[in-house]
Structure 1
Amino acid sequence: MHATRPTALSVVLALVLTACGESATLQVADGTGAAPKLPAPNATMLPTVNIAPAIGWPAGAKPTPAAGLAVAAFAEGLDHPRWLHVLPNGDVLVAESNAPAADNKPSGIKAWVAGRVMKKAGAAVPSADRISLLRDADGDGVAELRTVFLKDLHSPFGMALVGGDFYVANADAVWRFPYREGETSIADKGVKITDLPAGINHHWTKNLIASRDGAKLYITVGSNSNVGENGMEMEEGRAAIWELDRASGNKRLFATGLRNPNGLGWEPDTGALWTAVNERDEIGSDLVPDYITSVKDGGFYGWPYSYYGQHVDARVTPQKPDLVAKALAPDYALGPHTASLGIAFSRGSSLPATYANGLFVGQHGSWNRKPKSGYKVIYVPFKGGKPDGAPVDVLTGFLDAEENALGRPVDVRLDARGALLVTDDVGNKVWRVTAAKGD
């Protein structure tokens, strides 16, 4: 059956109904740690719509740092900056990217409404399809040099460097390019290493990270739907983290049932791989918490059959009770619909001692929750390789008093001097967070 294009009246009615209907009982989307108390699902016919229109920053305005911190623009005038990579010589790479053009053509009323929402939220601009290099040559915390490092990519996102091999995760494949330290652009056309699931690309962002010994690459691939409504045959190889052997080119599924994994990082004490995952929609503003978790080899994390361990999602039929029985609960809830994306462990940070051992998380912010959640950078303290305590706000003020989006944080990364870099794909900036002078 082919979906028909909704009429303008039906869309208006849908927006009115969803905007005025279901709302959260949990008024603040704070992290609830290792064992969150989840409410009963509240299934909605259409997504709850609560848009923060993207307007950008007024001249001279900037986010609000926590006490003891300062923030300034490291780079401005970028084109939808999403992901970061810091090279060994301190140069900063930023992927200027958005969804492939073909993926901006939703089908069905839910997808069509979501597409309109994304446009109003500033997420429907064409992809620049490039990686830019930013260099702070004089050490003043501002990038004086900007060059096109790589161009003509396909919605690039994750990046990794192993020796002289520079890897880029496009929306549909991983590519390798030769890199020599200090060069500011790469002219080589590169070599495709492996294809990645693409198709509809409900979640197009593909991240990657190299193992500590450089032998493996770990690659995130999000789901092609909310809860498998396009058919599970469309989800083959998705909602997963893949492991790729660099020497042989062979790859295997490392972990599955992760609806939309994004940020990746190695926990410095245990060496465990951690990721941030965006969970499912349309069962209420209080469900399901996005989360950070360590990732176990062979682990299954529930999607689409269950959430947050073994909470069965009754919308998914047929169910797989044997698989649900194996579903692992994540380590730490970040709150529902926060759109938590980039993560960075804080070891080696030059920020105050409060941030000495934990994880920074960039929260892009909800469009389908009342009240809104996310739109900030937080810090989760760790102890013994695990989260230990409530999250702490690091950078806020991305919404104005009328709840317009001045900016939206995406990725977070420590630079060569231990400051925290934050991409902002609405403000088209990279922010740099440091210890306040005198601290």
Structure 2
Amino acid sequence: MKTFAPTLLLAGAFAGLAFAGHVLAQSEEARRLIGPVAFSDWRQDAPGTWRKITAQDLPAPLASEPTASRSQVVARPDGAAPKTLAGFSAEIFASGLEGPRVIRHAPNGDIFVTESVGGRLRVFRLENGKIAPALSHVFASELERPYGIAFYPPGPEPRFVYVGTPTKVLRFPYKNGDLSASGPAETIATLPGADGGHWTRDLVFSRDGKTLYVSVGSKTNVAEGHPRPSAQEVAQLEAAHGQGASAGVEFERATVLAIDPEGKSRRNVANGLRNCSGLQLQPGTDALWCVVNERDMLGDDLPPDYATRVKEGAFYGWPWHYIGAHEDPRHAGERPDLSSKITIPDVLFQPHSAPLGIAFYEGGQFPAEYKGDAFVALHGSWNRAKRTGYKIVRLSFKDGVPTGEYQDFLTGFVVDDTRVWGRPVDVAVARDGSLLVSEDGNGTIWRVSYSGAAAPVRTSGN
């Protein structure tokens, strides 16, 4: 495999220049937006602000006119950088990438990144363990929109690196320190996706390595216009694939699949997850988590996107219902039998924020209160008149259980109501405890570090 070096900016070398991350002081009492007031826009975003939305806060369907409002991605303005909390700083880790998406670090500390536009799996080699790469290498190329990355078996000595593409799970031979694939890709499983629709396929192995979890988003927005199976067909489908399983062009979609490492068996873990774009295991509990892009065209403030534990055999509503027993008017009366069987997600985000990546913080660099919390990348809205998303948020946990609140952690990617310069995709905790953030608007990876100058204030609600 050839070596390819994008434009790299050493993280530590530029701390004093104009584009180093802005640091914002946080007020003594953190601002909290609870309930309907949390349905705001980018102008209300600020590091430190907390939000909480519940199923009881939702407006009626079509309370506002559905709006297509795609952002214009522009070059990063001179001096622009993400805004973060006091004591933290954001600096460029790498630039010049083609659609950087998922970030994972190998057991030896090398950092792997998928470039979905460039069709590459890239690896960054750290020098002397320092988080400032001198060179990157192309581990594999000519891939079909690569996304998820997982090392197998889990633990210190993997033998393979798995890659999720829209239609396949691939694996390459791998041992610690490899900078290019030592053999060709092997197809472990084929996935629905050749006919289009949501294409992101994230991957994560169970802790014991016996199960590979694969996220598969829906083909359509809300399964409109497709033939409805008969009651007998539904019964047969759900007996084999679980409650709320999709049929027709949506078969094995809007779900999380469980596949054995050799691809010889598969099953649906949970259904009704319209587009679960990011998967992670929660440390300590091994609960499987995903972040989900919900449906469009029900108005600015419906329905919320979310992060949730993926419970075995659970059904999360799509396409008939959303956030509990709220019925989608486009499927009125079609599946009343499911209304009392829907699992409500754990953390609700502002609608159309488009969450893509999640990472739990187990590092040692940030203040102790961050341990066990999670970070989520919000890619940003297109189906909302008032722009939202385009930031990194922190999910609050207490004793391993989500509180439902989330905090703006990294903002500043929006220029104005029509233009943005960054679209966050994924988050990963590096070996030194800093946070890496990919964004595919301008093809950069940012590193967020903590200097210890100030400790953030947790909301009084936790």
Q: TM-score normalized by structure 1?
A: 0.83
- The answer to whether 1:64 aligns with 2:98 is no
Residue equivalent to 2:67: 48
> Any idea what the Cα deviations from partners look like across 1:195-252, whole Å, max 9, x if unmatched?
0001332201111100001111000000011110252511011000000122562000
- The answer to whether 1:226 aligns with 2:221 is yes
Task: Pick closer, same or farther for the CA change 1:184–1:36 going to 2, 3 Å.
Answer: farther
**Pick aligned residue for 2:382 from 352, 363, 367:** 367
Give runs of ≥4 in structure 1 deviating > 6 Å. none
**Pick aligned residue for 1:26 from 19, 39, 43:** 39
**Contact kept in structure 1, 2:55 and 2:324, CA below 8 Å:** no
CA positional deviation for 1:331: 1.1
Residue equivalent to 2:457: none
CA positional deviation for 1:317: 5.9
**Contact kept in structure 2, 1:375 and 1:408, CA below 8 Å:** yes
Task: Pick closer, same or farther for the CA change 1:274–1:25 going to 2, 3 Å.
Answer: closer
Residue equivalent to 2:361: 346
CA positional deviation for 1:187: 4.2
**Contact kept in structure 2, 1:35 and 1:332, CA below 8 Å:** no
Task: Pick closer, same or farther for the CA change 1:417–1:304 going to 2, 3 Å.
Answer: same
Task: Pick closer, same or farther for the CA change 1:430–1:248 going to 2, 3 Å.
Answer: closer
- What's the C-alpha RMSD, in Å, of the aligned pairs? 2.0
CA positional deviation for 1:404: 1.3
Task: Pick closer, same or farther for the CA change 1:31–1:319 going to 2, 3 Å.
Answer: farther
**Contact kept in structure 2, 1:56 and 1:406, CA below 8 Å:** yes
**Pick aligned residue for 1:158 from 148, 164, 171:** 148
Residue equivalent to 2:59: 39
**Pick aligned residue for 2:212 from 209, 217, 226:** 217
Task: Look up the equivalent residue of 2:190 and give its one-letter code.
Answer: D
**Pick aligned residue for 2:289 from 271, 274, 283:** 274
CA positional deviation for 1:79: 0.7
Q: What SS does structure 2 have at the residue aligned with 1:322?
A: helix
C-alpha distance in 2 between matches for 1:285 and 1:317: 20
CA positional deviation for 1:349: 4.5
Task: Pick closer, same or farther for the CA change 1:145–1:372 going to 2, 3 Å.
Answer: same
Residue equivalent to 2:14: none
Task: Pick closer, same or farther for the CA change 1:197–1:57 going to 2, 3 Å.
Answer: same
CA positional deviation for 1:368: 1.5
Task: Look up the equivalent residue of 1:300 and give its one-letter code.
Answer: F
Q: Percent same amino acid at aligned positions?
A: 41
**Contact kept in structure 2, 1:52 and 1:367, CA below 8 Å:** yes
Matches within 5 A, 1:90-109: 90-97=109-116
Task: Pick closer, same or farther for the CA change 1:245–1:389 going to 2, 3 Å.
Answer: closer
Residue equivalent to 2:203: 208
Task: Look up the equivalent residue of 2:215 and give its one-letter code.
Answer: T
C-alpha distance in 1 between matches for 2:197 and 2:446: 28
Residue equivalent to 1:132: 122
> Any idea what the Cα deviations from partners look like across 1:315-347, whole Å, max 9, x if unmatched?
026611213331111111011110011000112
Q: TM-score normalized by structure 2?
A: 0.79
Residue equivalent to 2:95: 76
**Structure 1, 341-350 or 306-315: larger mean CA deviation:** 341-350
Task: Pick closer, same or farther for the CA change 1:399–1:316 going to 2, 3 Å.
Answer: same
> Any idea what the Cα deviations from partners look like across 1:344-384, whole Å, max 9, x if unmatched?
01122421234222110000010111211111001011012
**Contact kept in structure 2, 1:36 and 1:333, CA below 8 Å:** no
**Contact kept in structure 1, 2:428 and 2:435, CA below 8 Å:** yes
**Contact kept in structure 1, 2:283 and 2:372, CA below 8 Å:** no
CA positional deviation for 1:60: 4.5
**Pick aligned residue for 2:349 from 321, 334, 342:** 334
Task: Pick closer, same or farther for the CA change 1:219–1:349 going to 2, 3 Å.
Answer: farther
Matches within 5 A, 1:266-415: 266-316=281-331, 319-388=334-403, 390-401=405-416, 403-415=418-430
Task: Look up the equivalent residue of 1:388 and give its one-letter code.
Answer: T
> Any idea what the Cα deviations from partners look like across 1:127-184, whole Å, max 9, x if unmatched?
3111111122145532211111111111110010012021111110101111011011
C-alpha distance in 1 between matches for 2:263 and 2:248: 28
**Contact kept in structure 2, 1:255 and 1:300, CA below 8 Å:** yes
Gaps of 5+ in 2: 1-36, 43-49, 153-157, 227-246, 455-462
Gaps of 5+ in 1: 1-23, 98-126
**Structure 1, 187-196 or 53-62: larger mean CA deviation:** 53-62
**Contact kept in structure 1, 2:86 and 2:453, CA below 8 Å:** no
C-alpha distance in 2 between matches for 1:201 and 1:230: 16
C-alpha distance in 1 between matches for 2:195 and 2:342: 26
